[in-house]
Chain A
């Protein structure tokens, strides 16, 4: 039976529907495996690049050196490791003193990215620390100490020689240690300086470079370390911007992959209809000759299993090659090195092929089981077509299961399936209305235009399924394209052209005005200047903070460390009130408790709501305030942001400084030098490198998405092909009859153009509706993006529909116009 099925499949491959079935499944498998393989590599690659900002895939931080056992533990789990020590110390030269941030690195540094050092011959990528007794410093320190390359300066107990300038550190971090000029040195140089003494404040970082599997292997151990006071950072948790970016990229790519699968499924469903129609007579004959239902069911199951196997092998092969092709196409653009893909996506691809066949073709195939032997005598005795709702039910169940598998999010899969049903129901009604309307509109037209459009209305059943299939196709492509551009523009909006790339901290009240005036001379864009007071939370609602917060927040760092507090009359730019109200005009004069506004992230973490009171310990004094508003803060705005904002008139009496963020074009960066010498107490933090890296990652993501969009579009073409193949016999019959009655090729072409262009245009309009509704739901519910209206969509999708459905349809129907009518009419069945 297996061999018989293979034989009959070989014969069947001549039929357009079997070819369409095969092509659709190949595309589904190729798209899934390619996206799977590539995603696997891209995610690993992106995580590594994101790891550059951290310095490793896993970074452990504590106040003492890591033991050999701890280092060995990471090595054993498959990590390459590097250890750093960081401390702040005074550097001096010729009576000039400057606080500097020391970074002591080992030979393995950097694990990721490039350390660029200029040792007199331009910036070069360098590995490991400078030789003993020598240091690399940044130019800011050179200016502050008036030293240049080859000079020596005092560091602790020893003199060190400036061996080169630090141009770029791959793991440059924000935080206090970044505020001071940098010195990079070897562990031996540090030893010689005798700066590390019992009780001295220094930080050790143990960084590990390893696969996601390796990270997973040490996860339980990392949890234990956290309990021992070690700070553990990884790409997903430590860097909110990149963590969220990666998260979105993964969600987006799996969404794109699923769109390709959905489209291929639609193509399979459409091609199956024709396949079944074509085999009805064969089955009737088999029944006549005494075949049992089980016999021929087995034959078709085997035949389609062979087809699925062939599609899986070819598709997986193409997917495998495709991802290599993709990686090589992008290799010049993708600066990140992609690791080899795993084999897991291969299994996923094959599973997808089988699932698509079962879900999208299964119910239609069941129709073959109901063929009556009597059909041999009465040809018109066809079994009822599978109910569209049964097909939909089965297909959506399979699609939901795949969605669950891909996203790992069962509620999401459930909601998408329910929403999908809603969408299909609405599309069903709208398409029915459109087709009824078309019959009326056609009477206003003349000649072939009328003929083409009227035919759409007449073939209501097949037109309706084509309309819905094309709508889904265009919607999927439009959806993916728009999500891509919205995601990117959202990211780019968060990083405006002149996003602040420098922070100035520690501006003293007396020099505030002079500093701002000087700053405005060199920078065209700066944020507001915020006062900054440091205070610790000492009570919440009159209780000890640990007792007042939810159990899982008792160890929250925000309860232990000093928070940056500020005061302000107006709501800062990147903030939005989500609960409560911003301060009234003069809240303090009005009497009553001091009102404060708390950031949503802190409020959620500590379980705070408007009306709760918080007491802050500021320089041994206690200030109690009542929360009157909760703010959503855009933490990725690269602007000074605060957990707690007071109204003016409360904190002014405490010791405070000011902070601001500003943009200086890279070419004008030397001008900061004059600010440094004019305001030596002010600390500057340069975040250009961080911004550059984020930019690069966004650029790569954008290109990868564009490529995957191509595959979704390819799956869309498969739908068009399958839908047209399914409707070809009907069209062939009509075309041939018209030819018999004397219709010219041009007449038929115009009729086909009007029919397909109308079909494409209508699908485009319906697709625009689906996309708008879907985007609104997706943005609000899943991607956390603002909901927006897309007027352009309503022009582009119908136009694309007219162009692609029209173009492909007219091209595919060409043989119907040129072929001798006698063939299409089947007059030669009997010579």
Chain B
């Protein structure tokens, strides 16, 4: 489903060039749940952005759903994502001027799906926000906003969902509820899940855990 070879990303910081990802190799199969761990600043978010085609690597190749992403332009990569990739961000990334329902409908607007509003409403009910359809993000708590974001990620029935520190901005209990919701939906829909986190406990809920160290991925070595 997703294959990265010799993936390298360098960024310039003042006069210095920093290698964030160094000839990284990764293969993800359909239906897999993968957790990518790493310390702050290890390049987790950069890797996720590259895997999702939100940014371009300095070198290396990437393919998604069998199509070479590294050969595509911005539009080509967007086309690959449309309706097939969902996202859950640490800081929710809801549009502040849209209601919960409108935020969830947004990805459907880009597809030819029918009864968009009804589908979005269904999903909001699934995540327990059936009564908050017309609320703006600022009228919702952090946990509720992340539920909206999860509904938005799943509303197009995507094959792959990227989650970037989905509980990073939430308290322990709310984080726990959100994790449960994410994994339940993932299991129900048989979606491939790529989860970026620094929370080992959260990572353990995935079948495979990789740790990003010095720009490369290594199987997680659990410290006793």
Stretch at the interface among B27-35, B38-46, B172-180, B199-207: B38-46
9 smallest A-B Cβ distances: which pairs? A742-B82, A458-B97, A741-B107, A822-B54, A822-B55, A742-B81, A822-B49, A820-B55, A821-B54
Contact with B along A13-32 (1 / 0, CB 8 A): 00000000000000000000
Closest chain-A Cβ to B34's Cβ sits at a distance in Å of 19
Q: Are B85 and A827 in contact (CB under 8 A)?
A: no
The answer to whether B93 touches A737, judged by C-beta atoms less than 8 angstroms apart, is: yes
Are B106 and A741 closer than 8 Å at their CB atoms? Answer: yes
Expressed in whole angstroms, the Cα–Cα distance for A822 and B46 within the complex equals 9
Contact status of A831 and B82, CB under 8 A, knowing A822-B54, A822-B55:
no
Q: Which one of A455, A459, A742 contacts B110 once the chains associate, using CB atoms below 8 Å?
A: A742
B49 to chain A, nearest CB (A): 4
Minimum distance in angstroms from A289 CB to a CB of chain B: 23
Selected A-B contacts with CB under 8 Å, 8 pairs? A458-B98, A733-B95, A741-B82, A742-B82, A745-B75, A746-B75, A827-B48, A831-B42
Q: Identify which of B11, B95, B138 gathers the most chain A CB atoms within 10 Å of its CB.
A: B95
B20 touches A734 (CB 8 A): no
Cβ of A827 and Cβ of B106 under 8 Å apart? no
* A744 touches B (CB below 8 Å): yes
Does A743 belong to the interface (CB within 8 Å)? yes
When C-beta atoms are compared, the residue in chain A nearest to B55 turns out to be A822
Give the residue among B18, B43, B49 with the most A Cβ atoms within 10 A: B49
Q: A742-B79, A742-B83, A745-B74 are in contact. Are A827 and B56 (CB under 8 A)?
A: no
Give the chain B neighbours of A730 by CB distance below 8 A. Answer: 97
Report Cα–Cα, A822/B78, bound state, in Å: 12
Q: If A458-B98, A459-B97, A738-B110 touch, does A831 touch B56 (CB 8 Å cutoff)?
A: no
Across the interface, name the chain B residue whose C-beta is closest to A458.
B97
User: For the complex, what is the distance from the CA of A740 to the CA of B94, rounded to whole Å?
Assistant: 12
Question: Once bound together, how far apart are the Cα atoms of A737 and B97, in whole Å?
Answer: 13
Asked whether A742 lies within 8 Å of B45 as measured between CB atoms, the reply is no
Cβ-defined contact, B78 with A831, below 8 A: no
Kindly list 18 other residue pairs between chains A and B, CB separation below 8 angstroms, not including A740-B81, A745-B74, A745-B75. A451-B109, A458-B97, A460-B97, A739-B78, A741-B110, A742-B79, A742-B82, A742-B84, A744-B75, A744-B78, A746-B75, A820-B54, A825-B54, A827-B54, A828-B46, A831-B11, A831-B20, A831-B43
Most buried by A among B46, B107, B110: B110
Of A447, A822, A823, most buried by chain B (CB within 10 Å of CB) is A822
Kindly state whether residue A747 has any CB partner on chain B within 8 Å: yes
Distance, CA A734 to CA B102, complexed state (A): 13
Q: Mark A456-497, 1 if CB is under 8 A from B, else 0.
A: 001110000000000000000000000000000000000000
* Shortest Cβ gap from A827 to chain B (Å): 5
Interface size class of A (residues with CB under 8 A): 20 to 34
Instruction: Tell me, yes or no, whether B87 is within 8 Å of chain A by CB.
Output: yes
Is there a chain B Cβ closer than 8 Å to A570's Cβ?
A: no
Majority DSSP secondary structure for residues of A touching B:
helix
Tell me if A818 is interfacial: C-beta within 8 Å of chain B. yes
B148 interfacial contact with A, CB 8 Å: no
Q: Are A743 and B82 in contact (CB under 8 A)?
A: yes
Check A620 for interface membership: any CB of B closer than 8 A.
Answer: no
Tell me the chain A residues, 252-278 only, with Cβ under 8 Å from chain B.
none
Q: What residue of chain A has the Cβ atom nearest to residue B9's Cβ?
A: A831
Q: Which of A733, A747, A820 contacts B56 (CB 8 A)?
A: A820
List the A residue with the shortest CB-CB distance to B48: A827
The B-contacting residues of A in range 418-464, CB under 8 angstroms, are: 447, 450-451, 455, 458-460
A830 within 8 A of B: yes
Would you call B7 an interface residue if the criterion is a C-beta within 8 Å of the partner chain's C-beta atoms?
no
User: A755 to nearest B CB, angstroms?
Assistant: 13
Instruction: Report the Cα distance A498→B43, complex, angstroms.
Output: 82
Interface contact B95-A737, CB-CB below 8 Å: yes
Interface residues of A in 722-737 (CB under 8 A from B): 730, 733-734, 737
Interface check B182, CB cutoff 8 A = no
- In Å, the complex CA distance between A450 and B52 comes to 27
Per-residue contact bits, chain B 80-116, to A (CB 8 Å; 1 contact, 0 not) = 1111110101000101011000100011011000000
A740 and B87 contact, Cβ closer than 8 Å, known pairs A820-B55, A827-B45, A827-B54? yes
Asked if B164 is an interface residue, CB under 8 A from chain A, the answer is yes
CA distance A194 to B83 in the complex (A): 109
Q: In the bound complex, how far is the Cα of B76 from the Cα of A746, in angstroms?
A: 12
Complex-state Cα separation, A818 to B73, whole angstroms: 10
* Cβ contacts under 8 Å, B109 to chain A: 447, 450-451
Q: Report B194 CB to chain A, min CB distance, Å.
A: 14
Determine if B54 and A737 form an interchain contact, defined as CB atoms under 8 angstroms apart: no
In the complex formed, the residue of A with least CB distance to B152 is A741
CB-defined contacts of A740 to chain B, threshold 8 Å: 52, 54, 81, 87, 93
* Chain A residues, CB < 8 A from B41: 830-831
Contacts of A818 in B (CB 8 A): 74
Residues from chain A with Cβ under 8 Å of B56 in the complex: 820
Does B54 contact A742, Cβ atoms closer than 8 Å? no
- Which residues does chain B contribute within 8 Å of A831, judged by CB atoms? 11, 18, 20, 41-43, 45-46
Do B54 and A734 touch (CB < 8 A)? no
Chain A hits for B98, CB < 8 A: 458
Q: Which residues of A contact B89 (CB under 8 A)?
A: 825, 827
Closest A residue by C-beta to B94:
A737
Contact of A380 with B by CB under 8 A? yes
Contact A828 B83 (CB under 8 A): no
A747 to B87, CA, bound (A): 20
* B97 in contact with A830 (CB, 8 Å): no
List, in ascending order, chain A residues with CB within 8 A of B93's CB. 733, 737, 740, 825
Among residues 693 to 734 in chain A, which have CB atoms less than 8 Å away from a CB atom of chain B? 730, 733-734
Tell me whether A820 and B83 are in contact in the complex, defined as CB-CB below 8 angstroms, given that A380-B138, A737-B93, A740-B54 are known contacts. no
Please provide the chain B residues from 100 to 143 with a CB less than 8 Å away from any CB of chain A in the complex: 102, 106-107, 109-110, 138
CA distance A380 to B136 in the complex (A): 14
Per-position 1/0 for A569-594, Cβ under 8 A of B: 00000000000000000000000000
Residues of A within 8 A of B95 (CB): 458, 733-734, 737
B78 is contacted by which of A459, A743, A830 (Cβ under 8 Å)?
A: A743
Q: Are A739 and B83 in contact (CB under 8 A)?
A: no
**Which partner residue on chain A sits nearest B41 by CB separation?**
A831
* A328–B78 alpha-carbon span in the complex (Å): 54
Docked complex Cα distance between A821 and B164 (Å): 15
A380, A738, A825: which contacts B106 (Cβ < 8 A)?
A738
Interface 0/1 of A64-101, CB less than 8 Å to B: 00000000000000000000000000000000000000
Chain A, residue nearest B21 (CB): A831
Q: Which residues of B contact A734 (CB under 8 A)?
A: 95
CA A740 to CA B74, docked complex, whole Å = 10
Q: Which residue of B lies closest to A450 (CB)?
A: B109
Q: Which residues of A contact B46 (CB under 8 A)?
A: 828, 831
Q: How far is the CB of A442 from chain B (nearest CB, A)?
A: 11
* Most chain B Cβ neighbours within 10 Å, of A451, A730, A740, A744: A740
Enumerate chain A residues within 8 angstroms of B83, measured Cβ to Cβ: 742
Cα-based distance from A749 to B88 in the complex (angstroms): 25
C-alpha spacing A831/B74, complex, angstroms: 21
Q: Which of B18, B45, B102 contacts A830 (CB 8 A)?
A: B45
Contacting pair B106 A737 (CB below 8 A): yes
Contacts of A823 in B (CB 8 A): 55
Closest A residue to B85 by beta carbon equals A742
Q: What CA separation (Å) do A823 and B54 show in the bound complex?
A: 9
A588–B154 CA distance with the chains assembled, in angstroms:
98
Distance of A284 Cα from B209 Cα, bound (Å):
39
Residues of A4-50 at the interface with B, using a CB-CB cut-off of 8 Å, are none
A741 contact set on B, CB distance < 8 A: 81-82, 87, 106-107, 110, 156
**0 or 1 for each of A742-785: is its CB under 8 Å from B? (1 = yes):** 11111100000000000000000000000000000000000000
Q: Which residue of A lies closest to B20 (CB)?
A: A831
> CA separation between A347 and B75, bound complex, in Å?
53
B174 smallest CB distance to A (angstroms): 16
- Complex CA–CA separation, A820 to B85 (angstroms): 17
Interface residues of B in 153-210 (CB under 8 A from A): 156, 164
Cα of A745 to Cα of B78 in the assembled complex, Å: 9
